[in-house]
Amino acid sequence: MAENKELRIHVEHLKKSFGTLEVLKDISTDIHEGEVVVVLGPSGSGKSTFLRCLNRLEDITAGTVIVNGNDITDKHTDINKARENVGMVFQHFNLFNNMDVLGNMMLAPVELKKASKEQAKEKAVELLTRVGMQDKLHAYPAQLSGGQKQRVAIARALAMNPKIMLFDEPTSALDPEMVGEVLAVMKQLASEGMTMVVVTHEIGFAREVANRVIFMENGYIVEEGTPSEVIDNPKEARTIDFLSKVL
């Protein structure tokens, strides 16, 4: 069913090395419009690196990555242009500390001439309302809780109208009581049809929201399929081993 939809991300024989350390050994996968793909795996398996290769925050050592039709492994591709359509949410939020919430929301749309100041502000308020942060327009990041920061960070990424959203362990740095509010925003986003790739340890979220789960270990995709296939009936010994530790 997903195959009939537009191809958003095409990854072919992706390899990534840091010096002599080969982190991604041979990754191939396709992600289509509206899919929510959750990437699971033990730490050091390369899942975050894989995600960061999708908007070339990491230089790609070998292979092909095509995102929204742009070959981002091609040196001639305007990477800044390609990134405009790919939102990213980080483990440590990375809100701009020198700006208030509105400033964070408006910087990229205004700088990149996607919107006038007034339009950007209007859109920012609308998005912040969606994530329940409309009361904190003029707060600085240092004045927000972790969960609030992450919700602003998600809204900031959405302000660019991305076609794809990447989440790099978005709840891992949060206090337990704040995980729910961030996952709720992500669930809502998924239900609206956003194409999402999520690196997370939240198995519950994967089971409930994901169309597809990718299990990675040691630089390879070990197993992939629907949540019920990978999480509830894993076939590979390494997947079974990992899930027995986290479930």
Partner 1 sequence: MIQILVGFGPMMLKALGQTLLLALLGLFFACIIGLIFGLMNVVKNKACNIIATIFVDVIRGVPMIVLAYFIFFGIPYLWNNMLGIGGMTLTALTAGTICLALNCGAYMAEIIRAGIQSVDKGQMEAARSLGLSYGVAMRKVVLPQAIRTMIPSIINQFIITLKDTSILSVIGFPELVNTTKNVVGITFKSFQAWALAGLMYLVVIIALSRLAKMLERRLNRGRE
* Per CB under 8 A, 95 contacts partner 1: yes
* Least spacing, CB of residue 108 vs partner 1, in Å: 4
Asked whether the beta carbons of 164 and 83 are under 8 A apart, the reply is no
Residue 16 near partner 1 by CB under 8 A:
no
Is residue 76 at the binding interface for partner 1, with CB under 8 A as the rule?
no
Shortest Å, Cβ 97 to partner 1: 6
Among 20, 21, 43, 142, binds partner 1 (CB under 8 A): 142
Place of tokens 């925003």: 185
Query: Which range of residues in 27-35, 80-88, 116-124, 180-188 is near partner 1 by CB under 8 A?
Result: 80-88
> Is 55 an interacting residue with respect to partner 1 (CB under 8 A)?
yes
Q: How far is the CB of 140 from partner 1 (least distance, A)?
A: 7
- Give the CB-side neighbour count of residue 161, counting CA atoms within 13 A: 8
Under the binding rule (CB under 8 A), the answer on residue 108 touching partner 1 is yes
Q: Is the CB of 80 or the CB of 244 nearer to partner 1?
A: 80
Residue 232 CB, shortest distance to partner 1, in Å, is 34
Which C-beta is closer to partner 1: that of 88 or that of 198?
A: 88
- How many Cα atoms are found within 13 Å in the side-chain-facing hemisphere of 230? 27
Pick the closer one to partner 1 by CB: 94 or 218: 94
Quick one: which segment of 42-50, 104-112, 200-208, 212-220 binds partner 1 (CB under 8 A)?
104-112
Where do we find the tokens 């964070």?
A: 104
Residues linked to residue 196 through DSSP beta bridges, in sequence order: 36, 165
97: helix, strand or coil: coil
Written as six digits, the tokens of 63 are 């292979």
Helices and strands, counts by H and E, the chain: 9, 10
Q: Could you say whether residue 161 binds partner 1 (CB under 8 A)?
A: no
What's the min distance (Å) between Cβ of 241 and partner 1? 32
Tell me if 87 contacts partner 1 by CB under 8 A: yes
Q: In sequence order, what are the residues at sequence separation of 6 or more whose Cβ sits closer than 8 angstroms to the Cβ of residue 88? A: 55, 57, 157, 165, 166, 167, 168
CA gap 222, 198 in Å, rounded: 17
57 binds partner 1 (CB under 8 A): yes
Q: What is the 3-state secondary structure (H, E, C) of 163-187?
A: CEEEEECCCCCCCHHHHHHHHHHHH
Residue 163, C-beta contacts closer than 8 angstroms, at least 6 positions apart: 8, 33, 68, 85, 86, 195
Under the rule (CB under 8 A), what is the footprint of partner 1? 55, 57, 80-81, 83-84, 86-88, 90, 92-98, 107-108, 111-112, 140, 142-143, 153, 156-157, 160
